[in-house]
Structures are given as C-alpha cells and as structure tokens.
Amino acid sequence: MYIETSKRSLIKGVSWRFVATTTTIIIVYVFFGRLDLAIAAGVLETFAKIFLYFFHERIWQRIKFGRQRIDPFNLWFTGLPLSGKTTLADAVFSELKKSDIPLERIDSKDIRDVIPNVGFEREERHRHLTRVGHLIKTLQNNSVSSIASFVSPYKESRQVINDMTNNYVEVYVKTSLETCKQRDYKGVYQKALSGELKNFTGISDVYDDPESPHIIIDTDTQSIEQATATIVQFVKKHYMP
Amino acid sequence: MYIETSKRSLIKGVSWRFVATTTTIIIVYVFFGRLDLAIAAGVLETFAKIFLYFFHERIWQRIKFGRQRIDPFNLWFTGLPLSGKTTLADAVFSELKKSDIPLERIDSKDIRDVIPNVGFEREERHRHLTRVGHLIKTLQNNSVSSIASFVSPYKESRQVINDMTNNYVEVYVKTSLETCKQRDYKGVYQKALSGELKNFTGISDVYDDPESPHIIIDTDTQSIEQATATIVQFVKKHYMP
C-alpha cells in the first residue's frame, strides 16, 4: 500500500494547472488572435479554478453517492483432511487478489507451523480455532478480508467463527472419505488407520457435516476451475463493489 | 475504510468538467463579447482537456516522486504489572489514530479474554507471545501498524517479537516495584505476595530488564502527557510520512 505525500499532490496540482491554463491560452489565441488577452484570460481562469476546485471538492465531501464502505468477508473452507481445501482456497485467493482488495490467506498448516505443538483433541482444536477467529476479526477491523482453510470438524467451532467474524461464508469441500484415502500422498490416512496418528478426523474422530453451508463443492464431480469460478462469483456478487 | 465506486468518480469528473468549461466560457465572453466563439472555445477546451488529463495522469504514474510505501511499525510496551503500560499505550494510540493511518491496539488483557486459560509459566507465556507476534506480522502484511502492551518479562520472548515483526520499537515502561506495589488497585501484588497468584512477574517470577529499548519511560518522574509526547514524536519521526 502506497500513500501520496502532500508534496507530490501539490506538485501534481501545479503541473496540471500549467497544462490546463496553457491549453486555454492557446485555444483563446487561436480563436481571437490576441495573445495579450489570451494570457489575461488564462491567468483569470487559473485563479478562478483554484477556488472553484476547492468548493467542488468540499461539496462532494457531503455527497454520499457512490461511496462504499469496504465490508470484509471471511471465506471459510471446511472439509476432511486432503479433501482439497488448501488447493481450492489458494486458487480462489489468486483469483480474488487480482481485484486489489485487502485480503489475507490463512491456512491451517501455516498457523500450526508458527505455533507448534497444538494438539488435536476436541478442546485444543476448539481453542485453536477461537484464536484463528480472533485473528480474522482483528484483520476485519482493519478492512482486511480473509480466506481460511481448516478441517474445522466440529459444529461448535464453526459456530464460534461465525459469531466472531462478519460476512462468514462457509464453503464445504465435500469429498468422500474413499477419495481422500486414495489421495493419501502424505501417508496420513495410513498412519491414522494404523493408530499412529490419534484423533484423526474421519478415522478416529468425528467430522460434523455442515448443516447449511453457503457453498458446497463436490470435488468428485467438479473440476478445480469450476469450483473456483463458483466461489469467486459468489464473493463478487455479495461482497465486492 | 471507504472506497469510491467508479460511478462516483465518473459523475464527479463530469460535474467538474461542467464547472470548469462554464468558467472558461464566461471568462472568454467577458473578454471578447462573442458568446458563439466563447462556447466554441469551451467545447474545444473540454475535448482537449479530457485527453490532456489522461496523459497527465499516465505520466505521473511513472514518476516516483513523493510516493511513499506505508511501512507499518510495531510499538511494543513492556514493563512490570501495573507499571502503566496499558494507560500509556492507550494514550499513544488515541494520539496516533488522529493521523488516520491503519493502526490496531493490542492489549494483553483483551487477548487473554478472547483466549482464556493461557498459563503464566515461562513456556506458556512464550508461546502466547509468539501467537501475538504472528497476529502483528499478519496485520503488517496488510499495512496495519500496531500498539501492543504486554508484561513480556523474558528477553527471549521480546527477541522473538523483534524477529517476527518489522520496525519493532521497544518502549520500556520503567516503574519501580515499590510504586507498582503501591498502585495495587487490582490487589494482584497482594495476592502474589500471599502466594495465591503463582508466577507473578516481579514477585515470584523474573523480569529481564530490557537491554537496549528504543525508549525508556520513567513513570516515577514523567507525566503521562510528557511520556505520550515523547513516544508519538519518535514514531512520527521514524515511521510516518
């Protein structure tokens, strides 16, 4: 994010006034052939327009038309491990980032890398997500929207996120357990099945299916491009000017 | 934060062109007494300036002069419990907020309210502050500066915050233990002395004095107004355009 210093605005204003006045002088001279009067008209125009521009700006300050408050959203991807949340959320992020709105990508893995040793028991998961909710809320206070991807298996955790944040959009990445198991490129389902990984969602811990998600993506039937387009369209329609 | 929709910019542009052209027509008419030529000059001016304004804007897009990247800072208040960190940080926040920069206030108490049951043992405190560091870093990624007040008694925790964030400014609120004890309006020192509160900084846990803080505030000798002015001046000098 850049800001314009007042020095820059001043010089830019003077530079525009120079171009504008010179144009007027040339036009008047071409029409009437009197350079002295053309210059006098130009000088008068300069002074008149400095004041007029000022009042024009002040009047527009009071006009609300076309002014829109940025209303940050919280796009929340939930689903089984390896259901495709991160891939999809990354694709949506790249697409929405083009619009130049303040936007942050928050992924379960990144947060757990920063704050290691967070457990996977029900209570620990819930506390962890409450912290994530606080992070998103703080970003929203500063007009920043977020795209978050977390397994977030429990109904109560998603409810807390919904309560803490504004414009919560729940995206349920609905991939069958069979498909997730087949995708097991990290070998995590294998470890969960053998008992090496405890409290593993879908195997040794529950996943509460979302009851009324805003968007359901069935990765067994939808391509990533189709799914991305659906989500981007939803966000643009509801939360982007 | 508000944005201007393109509709607003368009109508505003048309409205300004109307004012500007009318002014030119009136000036030319007063000078030369020919309304037809005055209007012709006005119409020509309108078309000429639409293109000139466009090129003027494009040329300025390439000029870097006076353009400044927002460089978010992290103002970090450390000191004993009841040393006056929160009061001082609040005062500095109110003052800097006037400048209309993106700014977030983060207080130990608010964070502990959101995420309760964080312990006060050395390791828990350190993990807690790492999470706060992550919050500040994420805000900074989005051009938001922060004013944080935490006891943050350990050297290693402050070092982590320093490493994680940009433009770390350490403010050591140096109040003698005696003064803090006397201020004990919450009765926390009393509880710490009686052993009811464990791991209480200054009584039953260490406070590593900051080795090279950017600013030292001695609340025994400085008024809150003086201290606020000192800190605000430092931030304005180093981090504000």
| pLDDT of amino acid A110 | 81
pTM of this structure: 0.79
Would you call B172 helix, strand, or coil by DSSP?
strand
Nearest by CB to residue A138, choosing from B48, B53, B104, is B104
Looking at residue B220, what is its pLDDT? Answer: 86
Which range (A52-61, A157-166, A180-189) has the least confidence?
Answer: A52-61
Each residue's pLDDT tens digit, B127-178: 889 889 999 999 999 999 999 999 999 999 999 999 999 999 999 999 999 9
pLDDT digits (tens, 9 = 90+) for A75-132: 999 999 999 999 999 999 999 998 878 999 999 888 777 766 677 888 888 888 998 9
Catalytic residue among A83, A108, A149, A152: A152
E strands within A137-225?
145-149, 168-174, 215-218
Q: Do A23 and B114 touch (CB under 8 A)?
A: no
SS3 A113: helix
CB B170 within 8 A of CB B215: yes
- Only one residue has tokens 């927002």, namely B70
Lowest mean pLDDT, pick from A7-11, A59-63, A66-70, B193-197: A66-70
Mean pLDDT rounded to a whole number for chain B: 89
In the structure, what pLDDT confidence band is assigned to residue B198 with cuts at 50, 70 and 90? confident
pLDDT in tens, B174-190: 999 999 999 888 889 99
CA-based nearest residue to B109, from B150, B76, B80, B145: B150
Whether the per-residue pLDDT at B116 is higher than 70: the answer is no
Domain boundaries, chain A: 7-62, 74-239
* B69 contacts on A by Cβ (under 8 Å): 1-2
Q: Phi first, then psi: what are they for A4, rounded to 5°?
A: -95, 125
pLDDT at residue B1 tops 70? no
What is the value of ipTM here, to two decimals?
0.74
Percent of chain A with pLDDT over 70: 97
Active-site residue, selected from the candidate residues B15, B152, B176, B212: B152
B63, closest residue in chain A (CA to CA): A8
Is A176 considered catalytic here?
Answer: no
Per the prediction, chain A carries an average pLDDT of 89
The pLDDT assigned to B162 comes to 96
**pLDDT tens digit string along B51-106?**
888 888 888 878 888 777 778 999 999 999 999 999 999 999 999 998 878 999 99
The C-alpha atoms of residue A44 and residue A40 are separated, in whole angstroms, by 6
Q: What residue in B sits closest to A9 (Cα-Cα)?
A: B66
Region A32-54: mean pLDDT is 88
Give the percent of chain A with pLDDT over 90.
Answer: 51
More confident: A51 or B238: B238
| Residue B107 confidence (pLDDT) | 93
> A78 CB contacts (<8 Å, ≥6 apart)?
A85, A150, A151, A152, A153, A158, A170, A171, A172, A173, A210, A213
Tell me if B70 and A16 make a contact (CB, 8 A cut-off). Answer: no
Q: Tell me, what's the pLDDT at A163? A: 95
pLDDT bin (cut points 50, 70, 90) of residue A2 is low
Q: What local confidence, expressed as pLDDT, does residue A173 receive?
A: 96
What's the rounded mean pLDDT across residues A149-176? 95
Q: Which residue has the tokens 């992924």?
A: A107
CA torsion angle B181 B186 B192 B197 (round to 10): -160
Contact B56 A15 (CB under 8 A): yes
CA distances from B64 to A7, A12, B59, B61 (A): 12, 12, 10, 8
- For residue A83, the distance in angstroms to the closest alpha carbon of chain B comes to 26
pLDDT of B117 > 70? The answer is no
Say yes or no to pLDDT of B240 above 90. no
Q: For the ranges A30-44, A50-64, A187-201, A227-241, which has the lowest average pLDDT?
A: A50-64
pLDDT at residue B2, rounded to an integer = 65
Write the residue in B27, B70, B111 that is nearest to A45 by C-beta.
Answer: B27
How far lies B10's CA from each of A103, B4, B124, B143, in Å? 26, 10, 55, 28
Pick the more confident residue, A73 or A51.
Answer: A73
A32 and B27 in contact by Cβ < 8 A?
A: no
Q: What's the rounded Cα separation, in Å, for the pair A214 and A167?
A: 11
Look at residue B104 in the predicted model and tell me its pLDDT.
96
Evaluate if residue B227 carries a pLDDT over 80: yes
Record: fold of A74-239: Rossmann fold (3.40.50)
B45 to chain A: which residues are within 8 Å by CB? 23-24, 27
Residue A158 distance to chain B (closest CA, Å): 16
Note the pLDDT of residue A153.
93
Distances (CA, A) of B222 to B84, B92, B163: 12, 15, 30
pLDDT at A52 over 90: no
- Look at B241 and A3 and tell me if their CB atoms are within 8 Å: yes
Q: Indicate yes or no: CB of B12 within 8 angstroms of CB of A60.
A: yes
Contact A9 B56 (CB under 8 A): no
CB pairs under 8 A between A and B: 150
